[in-house]
Amino acid sequence: MRYGMVIDLKRCISCYACQVACKSENATPPGVLYAWAFRMEQGEYPNTRQVYLPMLCNHCDEPSCVDVCPTGATYKRDEDGIVVIDADKCVGCRACMTACPYHARYYLDEIRGYYPGQGLTPYEEAGYGKHSEGTVEKCNFCLDRVGNGQEPACVANCPAEARIFGDLDDPDSEVSRLIRRDAGFQLLVELGNDPSVYYLPAERPAKESR
């Protein structure tokens, strides 16, 4: 099994629901985003349109972040291909951040609240226990949710249903079928990381719904 995600650029409306859901699920401190979106312009004037590119850790099959980690804190799980970080082993050297071509990692130098001078809210007090200062963090495909048979928070909360999660190794899974049918592509494929996040082109003929 190899978990992966398909993001349909034709459906994405850049509402940032994925980003908000991710921050809520993971209680990430200020400045830490496991999921985010870029706005870009496609085409030539006067025939242009805005295209949105949602980003997250790509959970590569050949992750360069794993190769450079000196302590083994970053590793790829054998059972499902998800790339995770063991905070107990992370020494905060940030070699993985340099190696990641998708800029999907954050160094947590200090855990700060969202309201300076007012202390932590009850939500922050409850959620910040997930984080360790002096370590690197990133998306883990909502490992706890997936282990309970749920979808990652960004997938479950996308109002446009632009995100689909599933097993890339199963040729009959929805993610595999969509990649084949709509010419799904990976980012920076030339680097050889073989990312597990695929995108469906924004410009393609209209087809029957999934």
28-50: average pLDDT: 88
- The average confidence (pLDDT) of the chain is 94
Mean pLDDT is lowest, of 42-46, 56-60, 98-102, 109-113, for: 42-46
148: left (phi over 0), alpha (psi -120 to 50) or beta: alpha
In this structure, what token pair is assigned to residue 136? 């690197």
| Rounded Cα distance, 84 and 80, in Å | 11
Residues 101 and 191 sit within 8 Å (Cβ to Cβ): yes
8-18 mean pLDDT = 93
Find where tokens 């990312």 sit.
195
Q: Mean of the pLDDT values across residues 47-60?
A: 92
Q: Which two tokens stand for residue 127?
A: 């959620």
The pLDDT-based confidence of 73 (bands split at 50, 70, 90) is very high
pLDDT tens digits along 154-168: 999 999 999 999 999
- The predicted pLDDT at position 44 comes to 87
Cα→Cα distances 48→44, 93, 115, 203, Å: 5, 43, 40, 12
Q: Which CA distances in Å does 133 have to 31, 86, 137?
A: 14, 13, 10
Residue 208 has pLDDT above 60, yes or no: no
* CATH among 3.30.70.20, 3.20.20.70, 3.90.1580.10, 1.10.645.10 for 3-200: 3.30.70.20
Distance CA 45, CA 183 (A): 26
- The share of the chain scoring above pLDDT 70, in percent, equals 98
pTM for this predicted structure: 0.92
In this structure, what are the phi and psi dihedrals at residue 147, rounded to the nearest 5 degrees? Answer: -65, -25
Under 8 Å between Cβ of 5 and 22: no
Split at pLDDT 50, 70, 90, the class of 144 is: very high
Whether the predicted pLDDT of 210 surpasses 80: no
Which own/partner pairs from 167-171 qualify as long-range (CB within 8 Å, at least 24 positions apart)? 167/1, 167/2, 167/3, 167/4, 168/2, 168/3, 168/4, 168/81, 168/196, 169/1, 169/2, 170/1
Asked whether residue 6 carries a pLDDT value surpassing 60, the answer given is yes
- Of 102, 7, 18, 1, the closest CA to residue 60 belongs to 102
